[in-house]
Structure 1
Amino acid sequence: MDRATRYTWGGTHYFYLASFPRSGNHFVRYMIDDVLGPHYHHANPIFKRTLGFTRVVWPTLSVGHLAKAKLVMVKTHLQYQHCHSGIPVVYLVRDPRDSLLSYYHYNCKYHDYTESFDGFFQRFVVERRLISKRERVLANFMGDWRENALSFLDSPWVLTKRYEDLLDDTATHLEEICRFVAIDPDVVDRLAVEQAVTMAEQRLAEKRSNTAGRTRGVSGSWHSHFSDEQATIIQDLYGDVMTEYGYAG
């Protein structure tokens, strides 16, 4: 990547932290916050509806934030083609079976979803119907897991990280991410990275202790929840792209 030509506006550099929902986006975002410090800020894309058409517009920051933010993360679930060109992207990908199971628990907690996982699977995967109004708007830009993950394959300016690899060696992958997005990679301090990982692990452990019966952030938990039929449906729908990311079988 040519850092001299990367996208800037008003002296501020931007990058995307992109993923399909429930793929570690928040987990990584908070660690980047801790490593990159006070001259860094995060924002979200804005969706505007005009004359019945929904479009994505660039996030706006207050004057105060722009004055201090030299680097801005735009956290998103958009497919690659809806992102601005010339902006570095960190793409987080997770086994779609674990991602879907996590998404089910998320909807139960935050959207008062009361159906069983089987009902959720039928609605979300087979019928492709989303739960909340916001998600239904987002769906046109997000796509399903396959469409989302496929859009980032072999795309320029993209650093891809598997959620499972992040769990195995968080510090190494977090340092690579921070060096990829930082204006000056040399400012990324290994000690700060390790401290950020420690704080993230503490936050995750606390969340897990408060969600009894759920497998929050755990890799491979889908095995104890998916039926053979559901696993076959996922393989039929997403299998080709799962293989590209190392999730076959």
Structure 2
Amino acid sequence: MAVEYVTYQGIKFPPAYNSEQSLRFTHKEFQVQDDDVFNVTYPKSGTVWMIEILSLIRSGGDPAWNRAVLNSTRVPWFTTRLGLESALSYPRPRLLTCHLPVQLFPTSFFGSRAKVDQAGCAWGLQYRAGVTGAKVVYTLRNPKDVLVSYFYFSKMCSSYKDPESFEQFLRDFLSGDVPHGSWFDHVRGWMEMKGKKNFFFITYEELQQDLRGSVRRLCQFLEQELDEGAITSVVENASFRAMQENKMCNSTLLPKDIMDQEKGTFLRKGICGDWKNHFTVAQSEAFDTIYQDQMGGLMEAFPWGAH
């Protein structure tokens, strides 16, 4: 059956989850609460990994919640039809996730403000003065690795068109003609928020290189104090192996007509640099040329440069 993407504000979205109405409501009418924490990514950039990390931090390192409740229930995809319904009934403080570019993010977010009251008890702790309202955790990843992972994911998930070839998917990715739009636009847009107190930027590569240090930084940003034992539990239960074995986040509970894991594995490799096994020299050079043109002065901000 042919896949017809939903289009909102010129960007394509998978049809099984999204509707133009849900996207418009999320963009224009969704009311952000000042103790909301948003997990924002471009697809295949560590979304599920960060969901597990944030859930574990929320639970003080106790993995029981992660092991018993689906990740989409713990951290609803609030732009989708079912996720929006969950988010609207979700008890505060909410953990929410999405792939939205900054221009389609809820407009109410940019007016959110800190509230210090009894209802403002986030992460099990009372807010302290000076907290800047709702927060965004934005994870980004080497776009070449994103592309490879996205290619394999699109072959498995029924809500995405099965790519004709890697070469064709590469051309579509570079032109932004893929669901959720251009990686370059997505990253440039969110990077404009860097330096604001309620935005936290981290790369997939940083998580790989120093997960413990990354968890500590996240705890500081979220004002959640965890002892070393709790941090160790977060690190252990957010490891790639632990996630592969956890049915609440590895998508094996999804029916075959939604996610066909006979065509691949949802949590496939979880490594950095796999693009080198897929790109030809010519493809890599063509990618680098467009990357340098699109990202300009931002290149030095990332650990992968143009490689």
Please give the TM-score of this superposition, normalised by the length of structure 2.
Answer: 0.60
Distance 1:168 1:103 in 2: 22
Structure 2 counterparts to residues 1-249 of structure 1, below 5 A: 9=33, 13-37=35-59, 41-46=74-79, 60-62=87-89, 65-66=90-91, 70-83=92-105, 84-85=109-110, 86=112, 87-111=134-158, 113=162, 115-126=164-175, 128-130=176-178, 135=179, 139=180, 143-155=181-193, 156=196, 157-182=198-223, 185-186=224-225, 188-201=226-239, 202-204=241-243, 206=245, 216-239=269-292, 240=296, 241-249=298-306
- What is the CA distance between 1:35 and its match in structure 2? 2.3
- What is the CA distance between 1:174 and its match in structure 2? 1.7
Q: SS in structure 2 opposite 1:159? A: strand
Distance 2:236 2:42 in 1: 25
Q: SS in structure 2 opposite 1:121? A: helix
Q: SS in structure 2 opposite 1:43? A: coil
Please give the TM-score of this superposition, normalised by the length of structure 1.
Answer: 0.72
Provide the residue aligned with 1:3 in structure 2: none
Provide the residue aligned with 1:53 in structure 2: none
Which structure 1 segments of 5+ residues have no match?
A: 1-6, 49-56
1:26-71 alpha-carbon deviations (Å, 9 max, x no partner): 1111122122127x952223368xxxxxxxx897432xx42xxx32
1:99-151 alpha-carbon deviations (Å, 9 max, x no partner): 1100011111223725331222123334x333xxxx3xxx3xxx311111111
Q: SS in structure 1 opposite 2:139? A: strand
Distance 1:43 1:194 in 2: 26
- Please say if residues 74 and 95 of structure 2, whose CA atoms lie closer than 8 Å, have aligned partners that are also in contact: yes
Distance 2:228 2:58 in 1: 12
- Please say if residues 95 and 242 of structure 1, whose CA atoms lie closer than 8 Å, have aligned partners that are also in contact: no
- Please say if residues 46 and 59 of structure 1, whose CA atoms lie closer than 8 Å, have aligned partners that are also in contact: no
Distance 1:76 1:102 in 2: 18
The AA in structure 1 aligned to 2:230 is A
Q: SS in structure 2 opposite 1:46? A: coil
Residue 204 to residue 116, structure 1, CA distance change in 2 (3 Å): farther
Identity %: 20
- What is the CA distance between 1:159 and its match in structure 2? 1.1
Provide the residue aligned with 1:4 in structure 2: none
Distance 1:8 1:124 in 2: 31
Distance 2:85 2:192 in 1: 24
**What is the count of residue pairs matched by the alignment?**
210
Provide the residue aligned with 2:256 in structure 1: none
- What is the CA distance between 1:244 and its match in structure 2? 2.9
Distance 2:152 2:38 in 1: 26
Structure whose residues are more often strand by fraction: 1
Bigger mean CA offset, 196-205 vs 152-161: 196-205
The AA in structure 2 aligned to 1:226 is F
- Please say if residues 87 and 96 of structure 2, whose CA atoms lie closer than 8 Å, have aligned partners that are also in contact: no
- Please say if residues 79 and 98 of structure 2, whose CA atoms lie closer than 8 Å, have aligned partners that are also in contact: no
